Amino acid sequence: MLKLSEEVIYLDCQAANKTEAIKIAADELEKAGYVKPGFFEAMLKREKDVSTWIGAGISFPHCAKEHIDLVKKTGFLIFQFPNGVSWGAGQVVFIMVAVAATKNEHVQVLADIADMLGDDANTLILASAKTKREFIDQFEQH
């Protein structure tokens, strides 16, 4: 089972739209040493090709395969948007899991996280968590 640490969780994030939300994620992935400069543009290209919204108030932005060279090491960061972010077409994201992965490692990371986030009720509980510990405790109950 995937274990979360407080270092990968960003609570109470605000973004006017999905582009701004993805920019926040790309900047933090770069600061954390997961990706090289240019990852934001690669994430936007992936989003333009195929939406990373997966349902239940969750999105998994990542880069397209042709930009995998921008990934230094595999990892993910979780961003909570208590007020939601419009993802277009009536979709609203409350939990965004930004993924940087070499090769096909992102598939396993996504699968592990998706298993624990799979329903609207749990997403809303996570979206209202006030502390990182509360977020982790709720996440690990599922």
Question: What confidence tens digit (pLDDT) does each residue in 54-99 have?
Answer: 888 999 999 988 999 999 998 899 999 999 999 999 999 999 999 9
Q: Which domains does the chain have, with CATH numbers?
A: 6-140 (3.40.930.10)
Lowest model confidence (mean pLDDT) among 24-28, 96-100, 103-107: 103-107
- The pTM of the full predicted model, rounded to 2 decimals, is 0.92
pLDDT at 142 over 70: no
Q: DSSP secondary structure string, the chain?
A: -----GGGEE-S---SSHHHHHHHHHHHHHHTTSB-TTHHHHHHHHHHHS--EEETTEE-----GGGGGGBSS-EEEEEEEEEEEEEETTEEEEEEEEEE-STTHHHHHHHHHHHHH-SHHHHHHHHT--SHHHHHHHHHT-
